[in-house]
Amino acid sequence: MWKQKLKNVSKLGLGFSRRWISIEKQVGGIRRKRFAALWGNGDYGRLGLGKVDSQWSPTVCSALENQNLKAISCGGAHTLFLTEAGRVYATGLNDYGQLGISPEKSYTLEPLEISGLPEEIIRVSAGYHHSSAITANGVLYMWGNNSSGQLGLGKRAAKKVSKPSRVDCLNNVRIKMVALGSEHSIAITDEGEALSWGAGGSGRLGHGHQSSILGFLRSSSEFTPRLIKTLQGHKVKTVSAGLLHSACIDENGSIFIFGERSLYKLGFGKADDATSPSMIGKLPICEEVACGGYHTCVVTKRLH
């Protein structure tokens, strides 16, 4: 008997045409290898099929047929693959070093292994032009575009980072999950605390209004991970980052939204930017959330 199961579908969804799935085959109760099927815009090799042709129906990525896949994540024009063995592969555009391979390659048509990750990886996430990976020990690595501090490496870090770099300021913090948006990043610690960094325009980082200094506007960017204080006291279990907004769900199933007209996008409140996390009280218990370019989706718990 064949059993198909959607698993670890990328949650970024910044308005891109392709979709990725991982399919599990089960025959006679025996678990078989998972593989990736993909379709949509093939520019820069983002589909990993060895060519730039667009695909109008799901097509198996033969380059990874010998790997047992665990998770995948879609970025602006690149894609990350995570295997059960904890190895990471990347394909597509590499103009900001988002593939984590040699900067001499501007793109690749097939997935290449990222060799700069020293430990077993358990999670990956792809942003518009940046990427991340979390090790089994909760260590966060990031690479790619860093123009707004979205890699969390500090204000003096390079604007483009082509090799996976450990976020050293989190040395004593175990990271459980990270979500990457266009130019910002948001993460959850093992303790359920929410951190955010990168471009803060429209309030997407959730740190509230930035006060001016001597009449000059203060930069809203954060170059290292910063605790979202409004969420202290809430144990956050999942996060998602969109183009200009973010969302998270706590252990009680309450959802918090912040960023560009985030409340309006859900049909609640006025069409104003929410610079601090705002709880959406009209929704039932939420279990999953996904932020797209200009929309948000949630999965709620079935109520009996």
Q: What's the pLDDT at 12? A: 42
pLDDT at 264: 55
Domain residue limits, the chain: 35-172, 186-207+218-303
Q: Which of 24, 9, 138 lies closest to 71 in space, CA to CA?
A: 9
Topology given in CATH for the domain delimited by 35-172 = Methylamine Dehydrogenase; Chain H (2.130.10)
pLDDT score of 11? 44
Contacts of 40 (CB under 8 A, 6+ apart): 16, 17, 18, 19, 47, 54, 55
Asked whether 80 and 90 are in contact (CB, 8 A), the reply is yes
* Whole-number Å distance between alpha carbons of 169 and 245: 24
Torsion of CA 145, 94, 87, 161, to 10 degrees: -30
Nearest C-alpha neighbor of 171 from the set 131, 130, 138: 138
Element (H, E) at 246: strand 245-250
- Which residues of the chain are under the pLDDT cut of 50? 1-23, 25, 27, 211, 214-216
Q: Say if residues 195 and 189 touch (Cβ distance below 8 Å).
A: yes
Residue 138, SS3 per DSSP: coil
Secondary structure letter of residue 273 according to DSSP:
-
Q: What is the pTM of this model?
A: 0.86
Q: Output the CA–CA distances (angstroms, integers) from residue 207 to 59, 132, 202, 203, in the order listed.
A: 42, 22, 11, 7
